[in-house]
Chains A and B, each alone.
Chain A
Amino acid sequence: MNKNIIRLIVFTVIGIATVFFKLPSSFAQSPLSLKEILKHPQLFDSKTVVVEGEVIGEILKDKGGGVWINILDGGYNLGVYVGDKGLLKNIKYFGAYRIQGDIIRVKGVFYKDCPIHAGRDIHLLSVEVIKRGRSLKEAPSQFKKSISFVLAIMCLTLVIIYFIRLRYARRY
């Protein structure tokens, strides 16, 4: 057999083996989607993962001394436990109505059944804000405003007619 073909096969096998055995630690290199983690939690249990998502709501205290934040990514949510609240000092915007929360990259250990909190969560190791959130402006359509105005006038007119009729009926 040609030496080059043998070399190619050997390198291919070594390459596949490297990727295969290195897979768990590679979770920590590139961001995973929350969907991927939550759909296959057993693959990532107790492993260091990197995820990205919008911070929503607020920081909530934990009775153990740490705090919680919740992140949203592609319609999937997950809680992130933070032992040191100081790590979150760069987060300014929390997603809510009219607020696009900061998009953060979280590196932490994912637990399918957290031994401390008895739930599915990530224990934070490091966090960075990768996209700053912002306040959003509301822009109701002109059509909605016009309909609202017309209906309000109709409603008021009808209510006035109703009360006049009621008064008239009571008198006579």
Chain B
Amino acid sequence: MTISPDRDDFFTIFHILGRLIIGLSASLLLPFLVAIFYKEVSPFFDFSIAISVSAILGVSLVMIFPSKKEISWVHTFFIVSLGWLVASLLGAVPLFLSGHYAGFLDAWFEAMSGFATTGLTLVRDLDHLSLSHNMWRHLMMFIGGQGIILASISLLSRAKGSVLGLYVGEGRTEKILPNIIATARFIWNVSIIYLTLGVSFLVIFLLYKGMAIDRAILHALWIFFASFDTGGFAPQAQNIAYYHSLGLEIITIILMMLGAFNFNLHFWVWFKNKKEIFKNFEAKTFLISFFLLLLMVFFSLHTHPHFSIFRKGFYQLISAHTGCGFTNLAPEELKGMPHIALLAIIFAMMIGGGMCSTTGGIKLMRLGLVFKSFFMEIRRLMMPFKAVYRDSYHHLEDKIINDRQIKEIFIFFSLFLVTYLIGGIIGMLLGYPALASLFESVSATANVGLSLGITSPSMPALLKVVYIVQMWIGRLEFLAVFVMLGFIFSLFKK
């Protein structure tokens, strides 16, 4: 027997959605203030319209649909799935009005890419985009990386135990502290500390590079948002290559790795046991997978000078593995890399980072456990028929692998692989080469943002929609979207 939502449930869902939209409207105030500060007249009106539209919609929903129930498990999947869709649609409004996008679909693509921390972009003439629009592009990554709903959870004092569904719905399956609201606030606190440190370092560095103080601060903030939240947008069309700086590339590597590691690991290393980083299962999986893939890249680029291998191979690979999507190469350069190196980058993008992090993809924990369960099965077959065999792994504490966990992991693993393939096949059917289609599909689903050039304003509208859906379900890790669809289906069954 399954639960089916009734009229009161939908009232609660729309009420909470209204509150989320009011929150989004408030976050649009930051780029609006930037437009005022820099006297950017046209963006001023763009953001004024976006704030008004969001606030009108949000307040209307709150007023028309009074909350009749406490938030429960049923509501959370609708709130998360619809929340991300509505946020991206409203977030696209100021981008569309900027005139830098071919149409609303392109602006929606950009907004979804921002919120999902993907980094694929359809902006035209980025080098002449206003500071306020750039602020919004990068702020979307910060909000999305932290979790749109998570941001709200920390503010929802009324929501109690039921907010677990909201948290899980956004693709986070681990609690750091016993209380979800405390967990959400901890994630915010960690991010704010890294924000302060990261931006300070970046400002000093960019000042040394010769940037004016205000541009240095803005660029530092945007680079931080895009690297720590593993987004990948950049304020200039050349992405990280614009700065021509090895030092900056190293700083971004550190920031993207901090963002890609499990927040739980941050908590343990900060407050409990510093040695956890050496024992942690995810950290070990990362090391193994990264170095195996690095070998593939080094092998394919072995004729290049060492420095070139680092800047071309190592940087793209770490950017792909952490799901960031920063690049110091032009699409033509990336496309021109040997196929073995591109395959290594595709594998790295498929895997992603830690479970409770800002990255997308299959995730290190699942990959590690897939391999562990494979070896477990071989060992089990080598044992006497009646023997009971259990294996364990160390993630914060020693944990025994159980069958239910393996089943769940294989479901997610398969869902990701199927989605990667479907996007790749659609790309091929639309006339793109196989490798490039797979690359782009994986990049969209795993929320990475590296591109071999397919993602452009001229690509077919169908492919834009496919990538929007991939970014959406990839970021929410399928669960919230599928459960919502299941509930909608149950309504028709009634």
Chain A positions near chain B (C-beta within 8 angstroms): 38-39, 41, 56-63, 67-68, 70, 72, 75-77, 79, 81, 95-99, 113, 115, 117-121, 138-140, 144-145, 147-148, 151-152, 154-155, 158-159, 161-162, 165
Contacts and interface: CB of A to CB of B under 8 A. Distances in A.
Interface in B45-64: 45-46, 48-49, 51-53, 55-56, 59-60, 62-63
B211 interface: yes
B431 interface: no
A59 to B, nearest CB: 6
B238 A79 contact: yes
Contact of A138 (B41, B48, B243): B41
Given A58-B210, A79-B238, A152-B52, A96 B332 contact: no
A158 B244 contact: no
If over half of A's interface residues share one DSSP class (helix, strand or loop), that class is named, otherwise mixed; here it is mixed
A86 to B, nearest CB: 15
A13 B51 CA distance: 70
A39 to B, nearest CB: 6
A163 B293 CA distance: 57
Nearest to B42: A140
Contacts of A70: 236, 238, 242
B304 A119 contact: no
A77 B238 CA distance: 7
9 contacts: A58-B211, A60-B243, A138-B40, A140-B42, A144-B45, A158-B59, A158-B60, A159-B59, A165-B63
Contacts of B336: 41
Contact of A56 (B48, B127, B241, B244): B127
Interface residues of B, number: 53
A58 B129 CA distance: 15
Contacts, number: 126
Contacts of A81: 244
Interface in B28-50: 40-42, 45-46, 48-49
B332 A95 contact: no
B209 A60 contact: yes
B333 A158 contact: no
Contact of A155 (B41, B56, B247): B56
A77 B241 CA distance: 10
B48 A148 contact: yes
Given A72-B237, A79-B244, A118 B42 contact: no
The 4 closest A-B pairs by CB, nearest first: A151-B52, A155-B52, A118-B308, A140-B42
Contact of B307 (A68, A118, A138): A118
Interface in B346-360: none
Contact of B55 (A59, A120, A159): A159
A99 B304 CA distance: 39
Nearest to B456: A75
Contacts of B312: 118
B385 interface: no
Interface string B307-322: 1101110000000000
B128 interface: yes
A61 B208 contact: yes
A38 B332 contact: yes
Contacts of B56: 151, 154-155, 158
Contacts of A67: 210
A144 B210 contact: no
Nearest to B48: A148
B20 to A, nearest CB: 16
A67 B45 CA distance: 38
Contacts of A120: 329-330, 333
Nearest to B235: A57
A68 B209 CA distance: 10
Given A113-B305, A148-B48, A162-B63, A138 B42 contact: yes
A130 to B, nearest CB: 19
A61 B209 CA distance: 5
Given A77-B238, A158-B59, A72 B48 contact: no
B74 interface: no
A62 B244 CA distance: 8
Interface string B244-288: 111100000000000000000000000000000000000000000
Contact of A154 (B52, B62, B308, B333): B52
B41 A97 contact: no
B9 to A, nearest CB: 22
A59 B242 CA distance: 11
A84 B54 CA distance: 51
Which of A72, A119, A120, A140 counts the most B-chain CB atoms under 10 A from its CB?
Answer: A119
A38 B241 CA distance: 14
